[in-house]
Structure 1
Amino acid sequence: MSEAPIASKAEPTGAQPRRAPLKVRATAPIVPSTNVSGNALMLVIAIMAFLACLTLGAVSMVHATAQSWQSQISREITIQIKPDENLDMEKALADARDLALTFDGTTEGNIVDKEATARLLEPWLGEGLDLDELPVPRLVIITIDEQNPPDFAAMRSALAKAIPQAYLDDHRTWVDRLVAMARTTALIGTGVLVLVFSAMVLTVVFATRGTLSGNRHIVEVLHFVGAEASFVASEFQKHFLKISLKGAGAGGLLAALCFAAAGFWQSRSLATPESDQATALFGTFTIGYMGYVGIAAIMIVIALLTTLTARFTIMRTIYEIDQIRSDPARIDTHQN
């Protein structure tokens, strides 16, 4: 007689059988990155962002340099005294300085000595100059208050009476020319920035539309299964936002690194002919915090532009799909 198997553990009456835990499979993105190629668009955005940031930084640098030049020229005037056989040059220099300082609006006066004058002439006449043997004018530099400048006409008249060989140069002509040059440079730079930014806008628009046109079937499938236009557009919008942020970030960061590297090179190569010439032409290769803020602003604008372009293109595509579905004749034409 066989015995029935004894259960190791009695189960309560009416108990439900145990079920294996459900495994939730991770959902794939609605806009697959493998289908929507973003590498080419990311590279285009990075290049255009780099050019736009470089142009903005260059305009900011030139504008700051021009303002620095203008400020330096505006706060100084020069008294030039021509040599004469009957003139005691050192006494004439001191008298001209003291006379200029009697006018309201002057703060300081410095006589350019023979050694400094010789250094100024070295690029043209070489070293070892003997100024006593050359009819070289001597200079007195007067620092003035930019907010309350002295009466230049009265000062010029007083100098002419006291020292006939003295000539006052208030640099007004140079200041006017420098202001005109600064405005022209800023205008040209702004025009170049507008052109670069316009090219970037058009490139992003066409690149985004071209990428989306190759994935029209994804939009059609999602819309046919009941997805709303706003949902489909938001999915594509997120995808292109990531691409634009990566591209604009790479381009803007590269431009910022270029300016930082140029400034570091200039600081490490002071008092060299190359650095002196570059400084004389372009000033210091620093764009300041406002320049870096401008670079960050361009990056944000590029990202927003790409995202809005993608959303507008998707909404336009879904609208065209709805138009085709509502018109049987257009359906046949689309299928053919």
Structure 2
Amino acid sequence: MPFSADTNAARPPIETLDLTDAWSHTPLVPSETVAGRSLTIVIAIMTFLAALTAGFAIVLAGASREWRGEVGLEMTIQVLPRPGRDIEADAAKAAQIAASFPGVVEARPFTRKESEDLLSPWLGAGLDLSQLPVPRLIVVRRDPEKQIDEIGLRAALDAALPNAVLDNHGAWLRRLGAMAQVVVGAATGIFFLVLIAMALAVSFATRGAMAGNREIIEALHYVGAADSFIARQFQFHFLRLGLRGAATGGGAAIALFLLLGFLSRHWATSAGGEQAEALFGSFSLGWSGIVAIAMISLAAALLAGLMSRAIVFRALRGFFGVAN
């Protein structure tokens, strides 16, 4: 039988009664139920997905920094074939001009064999570059501690070799940066979607638990239980479930990344392993990544508890009017 709010006003808060000790040993919400175990599994899965998304974002962001660092340390000079010019001599002269500039560590022309190997995936093996108008490449490595006068180098090449083109890989750097931002943005969006889904699951579970214990809640309210006391019972219950599920999901995500890191090191000598390492790095989260996943797991557990508390307060206002 429901009770009105004014009957509660005439009674002292439950914290002043002996019932508080009894309820501290007998939880309002049973700790081991089918619904509770199901919610723990849901929280574990959601935390695993959120941690997995965040972990891959961290790995890809780190790989992107490595890509940009490697690309940014190199420039390329292309020597284009022109009628009446010796492309081998032009390539050697372009390398000599580049090596004379401060800040250049090395300027090395690609050999004929290296150029053939570079083009063989597209044009096939056994190429004869002398029969094809293929540019010769000079790789210019920068000193990371010094600046190169790119304008001066470009002007010197233009003056000596009109068929030489300097490429500082700026377009590639912008593309890599844009790609990293897109990946991190998509991962952030997925991360928040997972958190919203978990919050909805906790919301439905809290409402179901309140509906199943409505008579007990009304009786507590009648004898003077403060709404904060009732909300704490639900909050601690769902916080325990959240901690259990989040620890399971976060631990599984960390274990998966450790396994991927071990496998990537084991397969690093294979062609597929080299490609995967070039794309994703070593799948190593580092301590910062592990701490980030631990913080995500803790945040998921706290979200479960705080979400439950807020829903209980809102429901109590609907049951009994203004919450106390």
- Kept in 2, the 8 Å contact 1:220–1:318? The answer is no
- Length-normalised TM-score, structure 1: 0.76
**Equivalent in 100, 103, 108 of residue 105 of structure 1:** 103
Name the one with the larger helix percent.
Answer: 2
Give the Cα separation in 2 of the matches to 1:203 and 1:32. 18
**Equivalent in 74, 79, 83 of residue 72 of structure 2:** 74
Paired residue secondary structure (2:141)? strand
- Greater shift, 215-224 or 44-53, is seen at 215-224
- Kept in 1, the 8 Å contact 2:203–2:311? The answer is no
- Kept in 2, the 8 Å contact 1:35–1:215? The answer is no
- Greater shift, 42-51 or 289-298, is seen at 289-298
Report the AA paired with residue 289 of structure 1. Answer: W
Paired residue secondary structure (2:140)? strand
Residues 131/313 of structure 1: CA separation in 2 closer, same or farther (3 Å cut):
same
| Per-residue deviation, 1:55 | 1.6
Q: Does 1:260 align with 2:258?
A: yes
- Greater shift, 69-78 or 188-197, is seen at 188-197
Q: Does 1:199 align with 2:197?
A: yes
Residues 67/156 of structure 1: CA separation in 2 closer, same or farther (3 Å cut):
same
Paired residue secondary structure (2:126)? coil
Which digits, 9 at most, give the CA deviation of each residue in 1:135-190, with x for residues without a partner?
43222111224565323232122112223332211112222233333333333332
Q: Hey, what does 1:169 align to over in structure 2?
A: 167
Q: Hey, what does 2:290 align to over in structure 1?
A: 292
Q: CA RMSD in A?
A: 2.9
Which digits, 9 at most, give the CA deviation of each residue in 1:38-78, with x for residues without a partner?
11111111121112112212222222222222222222110
- Kept in 2, the 8 Å contact 1:44–1:204? The answer is no
Give the Cα separation in 2 of the matches to 1:198 and 1:233. 21
Residues 298/71 of structure 1: CA separation in 2 closer, same or farther (3 Å cut):
same
Paired residue secondary structure (2:162)? coil
| Per-residue deviation, 1:260 | 2.3
Unaligned runs of 5+ in 1: 1-25, 325-336
| Per-residue deviation, 1:212 | 3.0
Paired residue secondary structure (1:150)? coil
- Kept in 2, the 8 Å contact 1:36–1:211? The answer is no
Aligned length: 299
Paired residue secondary structure (1:142)? strand
- Kept in 1, the 8 Å contact 2:43–2:198? The answer is yes
| Per-residue deviation, 1:279 | 4.1
- Kept in 2, the 8 Å contact 1:36–1:215? The answer is no
Rg larger in structure: 1
Paired residue secondary structure (1:167)? strand
Paired residue secondary structure (2:91)? helix
Report the AA paired with residue 115 of structure 1. Answer: K
| Per-residue deviation, 1:283 | 4.3
Identity %: 41
Q: Does 1:94 align with 2:92?
A: yes
Paired residue secondary structure (1:38)? helix
For residues 106-125 of structure 1, the aligned pairs below 5 Å read 106-125=104-123
- Kept in 1, the 8 Å contact 2:202–2:308? The answer is no
Give the Cα separation in 1 of the matches to 2:280 and 2:25. 55
Q: Hey, what does 2:10 align to over in structure 1?
A: none
